[in-house]
Structure 1
Amino acid sequence: MLAGAAAAAAGSALATGCSGGGAPSGADSANSLERLMREGAVRDTRRLLERYDATAAVHPDLAGRLAPLREAVAAHTGALAPASPKSAPTPSRAPSPSASPSAPAPSGAPAAGKAEVPAKPAEALSALADAERSLSEARTIALAGAPGELARLLASVAACGAVHAYLLTSNPGAAS
């Protein structure tokens, strides 16, 4: 999803740059692309937070295990947010069950609030790990089109997501 948004933004920036008079400078195009990429990354991160919240709501016994991972994901929202007064504050705790998603899901993607949480705790952790892994992969792909500082941030957040996927599927407390 993020890679698609980046490609669309890049195509739009290129088309705008080729249109002649009144076209934004190269710096404006880069800033616009970075803003679009950051907004998409924040939207994806919020969807992941909603999955964490839904999983903890369905499986309260997992809430303690999920809390540190969820807090890290919440921190990613703030780090990825575009620097402007328009950016929303980073959620620091689970929203109320009646809260609606902050942004609609892109076409073809299920709405985050409607994500099914498997009934078995192990399957719920596996589904959450799959979501972390998928987002980590999308962020890794997006690195190719991201400006320098954002690329470094996406790489770091993608690595964190890969670690989360591992931790979600590992057996806590098992002997190594």
Structure 2
Amino acid sequence: MPWTLPLRPSRRSLLAGAAGAAGAALLTGCSADTPSQEEAGIPLERRMRETAVRDSERLLERYDATRAAHPDLAERLAPLRAAVAAHAVALAPAAAGSRAPSPAAPSGAVGAAAPTASPEPVPPKPAEALAALAGAERKLSETRTSDLSGAPGELARLLASVAACGAVHAHLLTSTPGAAS
């Protein structure tokens, strides 16, 4: 008696085919056309430093936008902005150090890049603008603190110092200048 194909596939063959397709999809997903940073051989410390510099640059943009919207706050913001710029320089990877802004960079300058718009609009009242800037400092400080557990030794110490400085900035931005604490 000759063997003939069944009219419909069996449940077993459907399950085997589905499992094979799922396995192939998983393997294909792991080998995307563009290699991830880890596959490209970029060390963890360098990736962490580049992210930290980008975060500092965004914070500098917030300082510049706040200073542009409220020129009367420029004197108060200047030393804090200079410290954030210094953090970006200190965090920059050795080979990408020329991209980081200098502590004395003029308003809106980030290395050779053109100034970009602040990610969030600056509140119209100076006190609200300072509170928003303090919130950005606080959030970045918390992010850097949480990054400490995965950072290599020297970078972890630097991130801890920069996070502490950010927390102090948040306090200074929301405190009344000249008031005794």
Q: Which category of TM-score, normalised to the shorter sequence, fits these structures?
A: 0.7 to 0.9
Task: Specify which of 52, 57, 69 is matched with residue 46 of structure 1.
Answer: 57
Structure 1 Cα separation of the partners of residues 43 and 88 of structure 2: 19
Structure 1 segments (4+ residues) deviating >4 Å: none
Aligned to 2:93: 82
Aligned to 1:5: none
TM-score by length of 2: 0.71
Aligned to 1:121: 126
Structure 1 residue 99 corresponds to structure 2 residue 93:
no
Structure 1 residue 72 corresponds to structure 2 residue 87:
no
Structure 2 Cα separation of the partners of residues 59 and 95 of structure 1: 13
SS in 2 for 1:172: coil
Structure 1 Cα separation of the partners of residues 180 and 150 of structure 2: 42
Task: Specify which of 160, 167, 171 is matched with residue 166 of structure 1.
Answer: 171
Over the aligned positions, Cα root-mean-square deviation in angstroms equals 2.3
Deviations 1:106-126 (A, max 9, x none): xxxxxx534210000000000
Aligned to 1:33: 44
Code of the residue aligned with 2:137 in structure 1: it is E
Q: In 2 relative to 1, CA 78–145 (structure 1 residues): closer, same or farther, beyond 3 Å?
A: same
- What residue ranges of structure 2 are gaps of 5+ in the alignment? 1-35
Code of the residue aligned with 2:155 in structure 1: it is L
Per chain length, whose mean CA-contact separation is higher, i.e. which structure has more relative contact order (CA < 8 Å, sep 6+)?
A: 1
The percentage of aligned residue pairs carrying the same residue is: 66
Contact 1:135 1:158 in 2 (8 A): yes
Q: Which structure is larger by alpha-carbon Rg, 1 or 2?
A: 2
Structure 2 Cα separation of the partners of residues 75 and 162 of structure 1: 16
Structure 2 Cα separation of the partners of residues 155 and 132 of structure 1: 14
Contact 1:53 1:94 in 2 (8 A): no
SS in 2 for 1:84: helix
CA offset at residue 174 of structure 1? 1.7
Aligned to 2:160: 155
- What residue ranges of structure 1 are gaps of 5+ in the alignment? 1-10, 17-23, 102-111
CA offset at residue 94 of structure 1? 2.9
